[in-house]
Amino acid sequence: MDDVAIVEATNLTKIYPAVIGQSAKLGLDGLTLTVRPGETFGLLGPNGAGKTTSQKLFLGLMKPTRGTIKVFGRGPEDPSVRARIGFLPENPYFYNYLTGEEFVRFCGGLFGLPRRTLDDRVKTLLETVGMTQARKVQLRKYSKGMLQRIGIAQALINDPDLVLLDEPMAGLDPVGRRELRELILGLKKAGKTIFFNSHILSDVEDICDRVGILLAGKLVALGTVKELVQGGTSLEDYFVQTVERHVAQPSAT
């Protein structure tokens, strides 16, 4: 693993330009953040706080209005950077005319994986996410939980060094959540760097080395769970208190 920071955001700001009937909107406000190799980082925040915007900027799906973003020391517009990233978007919706296996294979093909490697990876990943039996079923017939599992499989097809997960627990039942948590812990053990957005704070507390809290596009808290949660409170209590403090006094950080 490289010594350089895996993700390095400096004063990252995104302003969505005004469109007819809507004024310009601040998506992200001066995010400065470093994610280290092998770290599991959780980004928390209410809906519209800028979590998804951050991941889109990390992937080059949008360009920052101000500030810089480096992933593996380079800009994300460089395809060689994205070749080392696995990404699961929020509420994933895939090509529903493909079967689960066809879809994962298609994703692997976009990384230019050799056929034999691709065969092995597809088989192993479908087993890992428990989708071997349903692999020949079209995605249109999958439940939300099954789509999430296939989404995880496609995100890992390239054996990525950095895994970006946007609300990975959404739509999963308790068993599915536990399995995914174990899968993430397995990735962590394997030395992968994981960056995920989540609403489910108990999972974040269990899995993450460090967490950040985004409110209205601004990073208002950053540290290990232990650093943030003091005096026997839970991460959930800390999160709620931080949100309330910010609402009462927007300049507070």
Partner 1 sequence: MSKILQLAGNTFRETIRDRVLNVALLFALAMIAAGILLGTLSIGEDQKIVKDLGLAAIEFFSVAIAIFIGTSLLFKEMDKRTIFIVLAKPVRRYEFMLGKFLGLAATLTCLLAAMTAAFGLMLVALHAFAFALFWQIALEWLQILLMIALALMFSTFASPVMAMAYSFALYLIGHNLEGLRVLARQAAPTARRLILLLYDVLPNLGHLDIKNQVVYGMPFSLSQWCVAASYGLVYTAFALVVGVLIFARREF
**Which residues bind to partner 1, rule: CB under 8 A?**
56, 59-63, 79-80, 82-83, 85, 87, 89, 91-95, 97-98, 106-107, 109-112, 154, 158, 164
**Least Cβ distance, residue 16 to partner 1 (angstroms):** 9
Can you tell me the distance from the alpha carbon of 242 to that of 221, in angstroms, rounded to the nearest whole number? 8
**Least Cβ distance, residue 236 to partner 1 (angstroms):** 29
Q: Are 244 and 73 in contact (CB under 8 A)?
A: no
Q: Is the Cβ of residue 156 or residue 201 nearer to partner 1 in the bound state?
A: 156
**Least Cβ distance, residue 61 to partner 1 (angstroms):** 5
Q: Is the Cβ of residue 91 or residue 224 nearer to partner 1 in the bound state?
A: 91
**Least Cβ distance, residue 242 to partner 1 (angstroms):** 29
Can you tell me the distance from the alpha carbon of 175 to that of 108, in angstroms, rounded to the nearest whole number? 27
Q: Is the Cβ of residue 5 or residue 164 nearer to partner 1 in the bound state?
A: 164
Q: Is the Cβ of residue 63 or residue 178 nearer to partner 1 in the bound state?
A: 63
Q: Please give the structure tokens belonging to residue 4.
A: 């350089």
Q: Is the Cβ of residue 93 or residue 248 nearer to partner 1 in the bound state?
A: 93
**Least Cβ distance, residue 80 to partner 1 (angstroms):** 7
**Closest to 169 (Cα-Cα) out of 240, 224, 93, 90:** 90
**Least Cβ distance, residue 208 to partner 1 (angstroms):** 22
Q: Is the Cβ of residue 82 or residue 177 nearer to partner 1 in the bound state?
A: 82
